[in-house]
Structure 1
């Protein structure tokens, strides 16, 4: 179509505009167009025709889709992927759909430096959608920017469909208004206004909410300011208390620091020395025990040697005299006994001393154990008491926190109750004002309802009279329609018979043409024979006559028998004579084309050729021409068929069993061609007869249609009059119902408002009572919190006392434990010493007993000693030496034992002194550590920081300890007098202050935004109103002009229901065709309605022109007369506008179209474009053939062919 020089002038059809012409449409894989399909468009009108379900409307969907349509429902689908070819019974689905529009841009109307502009869109099953401009990828917005002002786009008037006619004629004003607003471009401004109003409403709501927030926050800021002052004073006192208490604790801990370090070093040193001393003591005791064991052994050895020497001396003395020997031995024994007696007495004395010491140690140990148990019980009791006090302290703190939390919740609840009461007061006032206004409005509504009731009664009477007229005319129209139905059924049956005859004639003709083509191409002939026929010119004119099958003709059954018998011989080539056969042999030797059978005509036996054959031989079944007659007799004469051609017998009785039957050969093909020619002639005759019958029935149908139209017009006129009366009655009834409903709603609303006002007053009273109750509970809770604070202070004091008692008990327990350990060590040493002394006395007693026994036996052994005198004298000298050595060793051991006893006693005293000193140091260290731990726990529990961090930040104060303690007590009293404070008041006050400033800024911004939105809405209303009125005037003028063209006269107009508010009211269509006075389009016939809608659609289209206009079956409701008007309109405007018309009507195709495209489905489910007719010349071609062997026809196909997905 056209694009003017400026965007504002693009809507004016009477301007001189630059041309942008559509030249071609390319479709591939879109809906039912599975193959590549091209449509070339010339200036003027291009018609697209075809039967139902063949995919014509898919062309309009393709145009709408490539221009950027994003709604799947607008393309008659549920989702966008359904526009891709879904497959058919014979084809698989494709994965890509692509559509391209080609435009001629010679004058540069499109803002792109190309003479030809191609807009393409591609969609894959993965969901990827791409746009291309002249093959280069681009965005949809780039395409919209390029075509802006040209009338192109998915939402423009490029495509006019039948549903748009329904939208114009519907009772829904929104559908009609949508078309006008689309032409005027008001939709964008309406969306902007709707968005601005929504934002304005949100802004107003935000302003009300932020005003409430500012009032609330301002109140909180004032309250927090007071709390902040108390919190700051509390913070100062707490800081001073912290300084004093930490300084005092630092002094105490500093005073203990040096002593604790010294004690720790001393304890460490003593703990290191004590194990070494104990180990030395144990070593000395082991050494003493070893020496005691050696002395015992040495004593036994010395005794044995002394006995031996005595025996030996006694034996020697017997030689000198028995008495001398016995006295010597008795003297020696007495001496030993005396020594043993002396040692036993010493051992008894030592055992007595040790036993006394052991009894005293046992008594002391029992006393210390009792003292330790008492200290342990006291410590356990004090620890248990401290745990009980601590549990009570925890409970007191928890009670205080719960009380304070409950107090805060009550205060918040009181605040909410005050806010709810204020809100209820405002609501009550609004409800009272609204109820008063409704009471005033209710009176007017009652008057309007009574007036509407009177109007309804008059309208019902008129509707009853019109209904009687409708019944009479409908009865006459029903009889006319029945006659028309019967005539239409006969005409349809005749037309279907004609279509069947044409289909049969077409199918037979196509098959005949195909077989004749195969015959001309000699398909099925042996390769060598085909090559010989192709090159037979080298052998001379008439040398090679042709294949044997060319000279034989017969029916189909005989042809099958002959081909079965002859087999490959049917492809034999007849040559003129043997000379030619020799030449062909030479050619065959050089060319080597394959097996070849030659039949020279002059080689046949004349007798065989002239002989009479049997009536049932194969030769009698065929007709042969003269060159091959001899060979036919030779090959087929006297050959009969057995069992339907499964075997053959010749005159000699030889039986020929052929190979299994293959496909039809040339004889059967030529027989089939002859049969088809006869069938085609018969089909042509039947088609002519059916055509005459169909023409006769069509004339009868036309007569019945005219009679039915007259009756129907009368019925329609009566129906329209009845409808008008019904409309008036319905309108009056609706007005009465609306008035009654409004009055009832107003009355119900007044009652609800009254109930709401009463409920609001009750809620206000309830909130007042609730506030008083909450205030009373707050007072009770404050008293409870004060008592909980006193309980907490008492519990903290009890905890300090319990902690001091526990520390003292720990010290006493440690002292008792140390004394008990020392006494236990001493008792153990005494027990060991007593056991050693007792053992020594017992061994001496045994020795005395042994000596006494030896003296008693001495006399009896004198005689034996005499006998042994000689032997013992020899060993006496050695024995005496050994005895002397043993005595010296025993003496050394005794001296060593004496030294060991002295050393052991010294070591025991040293170890005991170290142990006592260690226990004393540990006791003092435990005492100081307990006091330091108590101070650490108290500081950390109160100030919630590690002691090291607290002491590191402590200030040094220039005052003595007493002054320090006094000032700390004074600060604690001031804190108690200050009472509880909000510790977060400072931070909350700062945050609320910032929040108040932020909310104030936000309120200013919202006020500014509200003013801006209101101004924007006013500007949008003004701009949209101007655009709509300008477009409305242009559409009305175009509508009048086109109406006069289509109807050849008459009157029409477009009116606004509310001219003062054109953007809100309905648009009324008034039309009176020539000769009629009706104004309402509902009273027109369906064809007249369609023409009125087309007039208006074209008026809108001319107001917002496009490069071309695609009309999708908009002429379907029109009869022949109205089709003529429609054709005249197309012929009038096609010089300025390029039209593409999808139609079923033959007059539109023949009288208005400059080019015709046919869409059909020769292959089920796949649309193809065929039979293009250009004005002035005819080109029969298949653009996208489905079956090349058949010629597609543009007749109406059965509905069963509608297998393409998403087709019309």
Structure 2
């Protein structure tokens, strides 16, 4: 198998399509550092399936995609393809040419391809298994991996030996088998635990299943008898319901007649309300109109306020601008005078400048003539003349500098005077503005205090308005609630009164005596009253006596009995008050219980009777205490608060509490209390209505007593003062800035003048010295030659006059320029002030136009406001009239409603009878439903689905009840059973059998796996030891060929008993050295040792191709020759790809690929076939 070519595109720095051909035995790859040489090796590792980014020098795998440069876009994907020629059929494939590809997209999607067809990484790994080719095989070695081999990092030596020995697949199979064995052992342990648990539970379930089966047989017999009893009970209740339904229908007919009367009256009321609807609508429309007018008035007032404020602001700005124009006019007049003065001074200085210039020219001509004369005489005194010239120039320069400085001082003094004059005038103006600002500030503080006070008063008023509105709302809500409560109590009163008058709920005998006997004799239930909480309890205890009449003597009772006997109206019971004396019986206090006699209210006349009836009767505070009723002594009676249970000395009774229990007790007393409560509610409603009227009057006063107009005036004054204050502040700020600027300028000018005076003083001193020197020089020249001295003296005089004339010219020139500059400055000020005045006059005209428009708009707005106030007044008058008509109609509606209530009362009486009958029918229906539900809950069967069996169908009700009770008692005493035991037992037995089968299968699988692991270990051990011994022999031969024949080396297994897992030690001792470990060797020796080991592996199992990435870097020239020699020797059986920087290695390759970066960040490749050249010539060319 040969490696034909490598195709790269978009991988790391290889942005473009790059193809590298490997047609020769030895291929070299060279290039400068950073050019991308190692990226070629990374590409080969990557396409072979490398998954670790660290091995490819990456932070993350996506970094393999070309990331772009300043000039090139990033690549969308990375693609690498390796092409092989399967010449020796090393690869298990039918194809002669094989290509593998790997693609990675920026989206993270990845593809592997085998001959252009998508495949899995596993397919590629399987293809190259045991061929010596892979991302981590010994066929690809980098310099860093040499150290890994020598230091055995991450067990690198053993991996290489296993690859060479071809046992990798055995180790993989062994690892897979061990994992399966581990999973099998875990399954077996789990199965054993399950079997242990199931065996323990199976015995218990079998016992429970037998007991449950017997229980179900008894339950079926009990269900048959009980269901038949339920069926008989339901039939009896249905007959009762039919009878009650007939009575209800008769009452309903009468009730419908009363409802027709109510509906007719309600129809008349509806017609009247409909006719009154227009009045309500008109009233609502008028209220909306009034509210709309009020909104318009508020909007108009706000509009007037805003426009008035804007007008005042504009008028204030007009006054301010007029003041500015007036001030500017005064400044313009001052500037006009200054401009005229400066023009005159400029003209005068120009005349003087011309005179000085003419005089200077004349003096210059005289000087030139005298200089010419002097030059004719200077032949003998050249040295003195040169020195004289220098002195003359120095004197002139000094005099010129002094004149300029004096002129500058004069100009500074003039400017300082001007600035001080301007500052004095501004100070006077500033003092006036400052006084005005203080006055405005004080006025603004006063106005704002008034505004704050006004706002505080307004907030207090609004808070009072809100509180009154809330109070009105609360009063209305409370009145409505009280009205509803009053209506409810009235209805309750009417209903209760009707029941008392008709004696509903009482026997026929009592009703007869009530109609035909004395009305002043009360029934016991009417004499007593108690709190709602205790009614059920008291009623339950007194229930046998509630229908008893309470008479004073036995004669009264006998008369009533005779009347009943003669009329045939049944029997009645009587309590004789004379028989009850006021005897105070002491009742013991019982913890958490109340005495019944303390909980009732009765008249004093009847107190002995109730003290006797309720003697030693107690009511516990909590129903739960009744669970322990036996703890109470037999001489007392106990009744629960809810009335659900009653214990007397001889008996206990109780059960569920009905809906109407507690309603018989104290009807007359209750009527009296209801009547009192209704009167109290009416009085409370009347008081609330009166209070509501007072609150509404207070609210109306507060709503009218607002301070909006005062607040508007104060806001207007505040706006005007703030505007004036801002204007004054701006002027003061401008003055401060002007003052700071002038002060800074004056200080600068004074400093400059002082510097100039010091300069003049120093230069005058220098000028005196220069003139003295010059005079001495002239005297020396005079001593030489009288004539020459005379000429020199004249020349000195002429020169002095000429220099003075020049100084005078400069003086007047500077003065003239200063006048021109000051004149330009004044003219510029004049133009600026004139332009500002024009702009201000335009603003005044604009503001005046706006003021006129605002005044016109204000007039219209005030007129609109007046009209809205008049409209409001008219609408409020009409609204009062409509409200009066509306309330008159409401009184008519009240009359109709009272008529309806009277008709409804008669209907309600009938409805009460109907409700009582319906309650009885509902109770019967409830009992039927309860019976059916009880049967369904108890036996999980609907009563309609029950079919009696032959054994019970002929029994009567008593026999059924006895038999049902018999089975019920047996079931209750049978004890607890597991109802699911039968089903659970069958399921667990089936599960036990299945798990037992699984255990057998797992044991067989465990045995097979152990045999497989043992077989793999034997085969792999034999293969490894054979390969190891061969490599050991090859290593000794190759090592001595790289070093010397006398060198000592060896490979040692550190644990002979476990050759597949133990470490492999390398012994390397070059001649003359005795290192304790391989790490003590030099870098070159360690590299040669690693190379010897690699080639020993190649001798055992040659790799189709080998890649060395700068492995030769640590070697010197002698060892490089050895390295090159062994490469050439092994190239007959394997291809070699060598990345190197060494020239000797380059000389040995067949083809050399150069990697370069013509464009920054993008690698390119070019090739050279070295076999066409002499090596020495090529090396010499490379050295050049």
TM-score scaled by length of structure 2: 0.44
TM-score scaled by length of structure 1: 0.43
